Amino acid sequence: MSDLVYLIAAALGLGLAGLAAFLWALRSGQFDDLDGAAQRILFDDEDGPPTNHPHPQNPTRKS
């Protein structure tokens, strides 16, 4: 029976820690821009690697 008291206390402690982490994330702005990341994946970066050569040439390799 005393083990049950420890388990309930541990469950309440972990639940409160999870709630505190969620409230911290909410107040720090982690959930402000939910659509930005979803739309950002659809657009290409302007400064990315060039796409005209899919495989870079190795100058030391002889064909």
Of 7 and 37, more confident: 7
pLDDT tier for residue 34 given thresholds of 50, 70 and 90: confident
* Cα(18)–Cα(21) distance, integer angstroms: 5
* Cα(21)–Cα(26) distance, integer angstroms: 9
pLDDT computed for residue 15 by the predictor: 98
User: Average per-residue pLDDT in the chain?
Assistant: 81
- Ranked by mean pLDDT, which of 11-15, 26-30, 48-52 comes out on top? 11-15
pLDDT computed for residue 25 by the predictor: 95
DSSP of the chain, one letter per residue? -HHHHHHHHHHHHHHHHHHHHHHHHHHTTTTS-HHHHHHHTTS--TTS--SS-SS---TT---
